[in-house]
Chain A
Amino acid sequence: MNSVNKPVAGGPAASGKRVLPVLAFLAGLFSSCESLVGTVPRSRLPEVESRLVVHSYISPQDTVLYVIVTESVPVFGIEKAENQERDNVVRNARVTLSGDTRSVELQFDPVSRLYSAPASALAILPGHTYELRVSDGQRAVTAKTTVPGQAVEIASYRMDTLYIRGSIFGGSADTVLSVKFSWKDPAGARNYFRARSFANVSDRMEQIERNRVVYQEQTYMQELGSELQSDNNRDGKMLDSNEGRLSLRGFESSPPPSPVYPRFYRKLNYVDMELLHVSEPYFAYHRSVEAAGEAEDNPFIEPGIHYSNIEGGLGTFSSYHKFVLRFYFHRER
């Protein structure tokens, strides 16, 4: 077989033997074992320029305003080997966020690689529209978002423990914490939500070193469940989150009082139930991200097209109203 880079050309090679013309013909056809892979010439590929990519989410509950500015990289461009993992952050942009009466210019923070300003610099108010302008000298983009006018509260929740037997989809028998909550959709308007729950857990690993039990402990947030919902066909009804789950025994563990070391111990500190009443662009963007993730590298699924509401660029500028319910299991003194 030829290499994959060889240009596609040529026809069947003729067989040298012509004892029987028909057999020779067939043999000739079979012998044309050229590569079935060819390279599409550059001239047929679309010409694409790098564009500004902006991501910013604002909410009345924020403590800081931030905007992430990067640039896109054309797929068919030539790149240097060392730039394979290059950082596409745009550091020299001018980023302005404006409300009805005030504007604030966000400053680049090289540590967090984003543009930020304290929330006090510009009040984010429900029902108000904000405009974002980003320019790096050559390219300029704008976007607008209207913050959802109503905070929607969690009306009820349910937390329980379940004993789960292993299934063919993986996992061994386990005790899990199950979290689920409900809220009432404000009637009369199209609403979009993100419902999610987190657990703050401390995982402790104990093992024996030099005949002594030593331990390591790490405290972190773990997402239990997160999903987008719209009130399409369900206007004004009670909506339910999906069930979020947390393993209480931890990863493949020998939990105490197991005499076998190393052993693992998980402590649940608190659970946050978050309900975000989100703007339509927020919903559309995150839904398209999910769809694109599903479609990634699956030839049987049409590629997911990323939503963008950035005029002249890519990404999203959107907003939400957040309601959080925290439930403590164990509070550090």
Chain B
Amino acid sequence: MARFVACLFLLSGLMPCLARGQTKFTISGFIREKDTRELLPGVTVYVEGTPFGTAANSYGFYSLTLPAATDTVTLTVSYIGFEPVRQPFRLNRDIAADFWLTPSARLDEVTVSGKKAGGQQVFAPQMSKVEVPIAQLRKIPAFLGEKDVLRVLQLMPGVQKGSEGQTGLYVRGGGPDQNLVILDDAVVYNASHLFGFFSIFNSDALKSVELTKGGFPARYGGRLSSVLEMNMKEGSKEKLKGEGGIGLVASRLTLEGPLAKGRTSFLVSGRRTYIDLLARPLIAHAQRNDESKVTPGYYFYDLNAKVNYDFGDRNKLYLSGYFGRDRFYANEKSSGSAMNAGLAWGNATGTLRWNHLYNQRLFSNTSFIFSRFNFRVDSDSEEFDSQGASTDKYSLIYDSNIRDWTLKTDFDYFPSPQHEVKFGLIATLHKFVPSALTVKGDLSDDPIDFTARPVNSVESALYAEDNWQPFDRLKINAGLRLAYFRTPSKHYFRPEPRWSSALRLPGDLSFKTSYAEMNQFVHMLSNTGLGLPTDLWVPTTDLVAPQHSRQVAAGFARELERTGLTLSLEGYYKYMNHIISYKEGASFLSIDGENARELNWEDNITSGKGWSYGAELLLQKKEGRFSGWIGYTLSWTNWKFPELNNGRMFHPRYDRRHDISVVGIYEISRKITLSAVWVYGTGNALTVPLSTYDGVTDDLGKFGYRGGVEWFGYRAREYGEKNSFRAEPYHRFDLSVQFHKKKKGGFERTWEIGAYNLYNRKNPFFYNITRERIGQTDQYQNVLKRYSIFPVIPSVSYNFKF
């Protein structure tokens, strides 16, 4: 395969040379939003009446090199949510042309969406990609009114949620750790707030969201199952703007504006929950007569900030960062003692980016990136004598963290209308401290200062890909990524061939195929899949090999011009090797023996294989008065681990046969938006006990044969095959109504009233067995109880914009 890809590169490199006889000119430039001068990524640019077209890169830059023409050529520039722009050019020289798009404000049905993009979206070789326009995201009903990009992605085919309310993404049979989540080029390790019930991404600060489930271009790597790329807004270069919201759980505020008009702008966006602040006076009141006062609480906050400087068309500089933290705490104070205990986790990322335009055909971006995730349990206590002097002190800190420094540079080269080449390299220095435990104090004469040896490793990759159009009806993206990972004593070198193609068939139908190999060098150990911060990130080591996957996919895509609908049908097959899991009975913090000797995490894990396959159907309408989508996924996932389920194949917990999402947004008028979501999913695969029996170990319970002949059994449970019980199906209906009002001075406000799980479905969160008496008889039976956490949950929120 690698050889094939190399030949392909060679061939594609020769093509421009063969065509050298022909004079060509380049049209290139940046595409921006008119009001804010915000650069727009992914905008489609195509030449009317020809099969040639391109899409703006992540920084809003496009370049089209075309044969010289005596007539004028007309470029059409279109983007979801914006008015399309047409502009004729005389192509007798290289042209620099920037475009300014105006947000579409029409309520009437947009009937040109298929036509206006010239079928470019459907005809792009990239398949298995999901885009959610931010404007649409804001209209979809949200849990407790908190708009969450990950929850919306869960409504797409091929993407499944885990347990009720969780924001983790399970893409084509992969786990949440197999998603490469990148925010402004920085990898985000834990995307959850509040044990996974909210994601860390504040949609007010986001400009674009793209999820790729398969057919990965060579520029992406490092995870097996998906790439979730998010870019933060740059901030308006025209005037100071703001938006925010007050919800039941949290409030948020975003400010953006120019620092030097037209050149520099900033964006600051913050969000914080306030249940702890609201509850504090109530708790204090309830404890007013108590000798000991306890203050429990929880909060999360996040802060996004970005500043950029535009040196002109050739150079642009961006500095952006994210900082977020969750903290649970309980403080207790009395006259004789004081105690503070807490659980905290958070991500911090920082990205410095430099865009450089060498010439009209060569664009580069160089990023210097920092990313850190930290999880900490801390507890300290102090006792006082009657004089208030400290008599005893004690403190415990458990820490786990991962820290990355990354340097990457990417080039976009546009040599001819048939070719768009991307190449680049990336190098990351990882430092993992899987766990560190420090215990100090007077209560303990034997202080513990145990730090699992930090692991330093280097992950790097070199890649090249070509978007090649050998014939009018065929587009190919072929690429190769050379991935490299180095531990202190071992090197892993993995070539990853990539391929995707689109063949245009009659009737605006496109047939697509893709193949991708991926390697994952960092792993997450998770007991629960709940997105708990106790999920531990660990690297590939001498003993733990990189995870590896191969995925093939094929499908059809079609744009239905008249209705503005796009339809896609895809089938996929994914094989995963060296995926890892905890051994049965192991957990994140395994302490052994009286002296708290920590077990090495490598002893707690086991590796195996996985297979995932299925079909996905998506019928989507991204804009218009009535928009939304219908998604259906039919899928199977199997795992086989020598040390799990006694070596037999089993379904992982989130294997889901059927998954359906229906999302509808209807603009009743300019003032009222109605939206609804209905989801259905097969129940999770769980392990429940089938029977109990007397288990007897070789010592017969208590040295039976040493002291006599008695034996003792312990109550063992027979579970049958692992995960052989299916939880009840999950389904729910959400509804929301938004009331918009524009006031003087550009102030807009929106009241949103919604309900999550409107018909009050009791979806299972977990199950438990309890023993119950049967009526008034003397008979008992065990019953399986289903515990739900979210009945119908109403919400109200107030959002504003100025």
A residues within 8 Å of B by Cβ? 4-5, 8, 10-12, 22, 25-26, 29-30, 32, 34, 36-40, 44-46, 48, 50-51, 53, 55, 57, 64, 66, 68, 70-82, 84, 88-89, 109, 111-114, 164-169, 171, 173, 194, 198, 220-221, 223, 233, 242-243, 245, 276, 282, 284, 286, 288-295, 298-308, 314-315, 318, 320
Contact = CB atoms under 8 A, between A and B. Distances in A.
Nearest to A111: B709
A166 B694 CA distance: 37
A48 B691 contact: yes
B696 A290 contact: no
Given A34-B791, A75-B690, A289-B697, A302 B439 contact: no
Contacts of A308: 646
Interface residues of B, number: 89
Contact of B710 (A112, A198, A289): A112
B788 A305 contact: no
B165 interface: no
B582 interface: yes
B668 interface: no
A169 B446 CA distance: 10
Given A38-B785, A299-B766, A70 B713 contact: yes
B594 to A, nearest CB: 7
B584 A295 contact: yes
Contacts of B714: 289
Interface stretch (B7-15, B74-82, B698-706): B698-706
A32 B693 contact: no
A68 B693 contact: no
B486 interface: no
Given A168-B394, A282-B698, 14 more contacts: A5-B772, A46-B688, A46-B725, A55-B695, A72-B691, A73-B691, A74-B690, A80-B778, A88-B694, A168-B396, A243-B593, A300-B534, A301-B587, A306-B716
Contacts of A286: 697-698
A58 to B, nearest CB: 10
B696 A68 contact: yes
A51 B690 CA distance: 11
Nearest to B706: A221
A37 B783 CA distance: 12
Contacts, number: 241
A75 B786 CA distance: 16
B733 to A, nearest CB: 11
Contacts of A77: 781-782
26 contacts: A8-B762, A10-B760, A32-B760, A36-B791, A39-B786, A57-B698, A70-B694, A72-B693, A73-B692, A73-B693, A75-B690, A75-B717, A80-B778, A80-B780, A81-B773, A113-B710, A167-B594, A220-B707, A242-B593, A282-B698, A291-B586, A292-B585, A300-B528, A302-B687, A304-B584, A305-B644
Contacts of A46: 688, 690, 720, 724-725
B112 interface: no
Interface of B: 394, 396, 439, 441, 443-446, 448, 527-528, 532, 534, 543, 582-587, 593-596, 644-646, 687-700, 703-711, 713-714, 716-720, 722, 724-725, 728, 753, 755, 759-760, 762, 766-767, 769, 772-774, 778-789, 791-794, 796
Contacts of B792: 11-12, 29, 32
A75 B692 contact: yes
A182 B728 CA distance: 52
A245 B594 contact: yes
Contact of B692 (A72, A288, A301, A320): A72
Given A34-B791, A40-B783, A292-B716, A112 B778 contact: no
Contact of B646 (A5, A167, A299, A307): A307
A37 B728 contact: no
Contacts of A233: 543
Contacts of B583: 291
B760 A36 contact: no
Nearest to A286: B697
Contact of B709 (A80, A109, A243): A109
Nearest to A12: B792
A29 B766 contact: no
Given A29-B792, A221-B703, A113 B711 contact: yes
Query: Nearest 3 CB-CB pairs, A to B?
Result: A291-B585, A112-B709, A294-B585
Nearest to A79: B780
A299 to B, nearest CB: 7
A294 B586 contact: yes
B691 A39 contact: no
Contact of B594 (A26, A71, A171): A171
A30 B792 CA distance: 8
B712 to A, nearest CB: 10
Contacts of B779: 78-81
Contacts of B788: 36-38
Contacts of A70: 693-694, 713
Given A72-B693, A289-B716, A302 B527 contact: yes
A78 B693 contact: no
Contacts of B785: 4, 37-40
B585, B596, B774, B792 interface centre (most CB from chain A within 10 Å) = B585
Given A8-B762, A45-B784, A46-B690, A167 B791 contact: no
Given A39-B786, A286-B697, A289-B695, A303 B690 contact: no
Contact of A12 (B696, B717, B760): B760
A302 B779 CA distance: 31
B225 to A, nearest CB: 21
A292 B584 contact: yes
B219 to A, nearest CB: 36
A63 B760 CA distance: 65
B594 A301 contact: no
Contacts of B709: 109, 111-112, 114
Nearest to B534: A300
Contacts of A8: 762, 786
B707 A221 contact: yes
Contact of A75 (B439, B644, B704, B769): B769
B724 A303 contact: no
B794 A26 contact: yes
B645 A305 contact: yes
Given A46-B725, A51-B691, A165-B445, A40 B584 contact: no
Nearest to B439: A168
A39 B711 contact: no
A242 B688 CA distance: 34
B396 to A, nearest CB: 8
B781 A36 contact: no
Nearest to B443: A168
A111 B532 CA distance: 51
A145 to B, nearest CB: 12
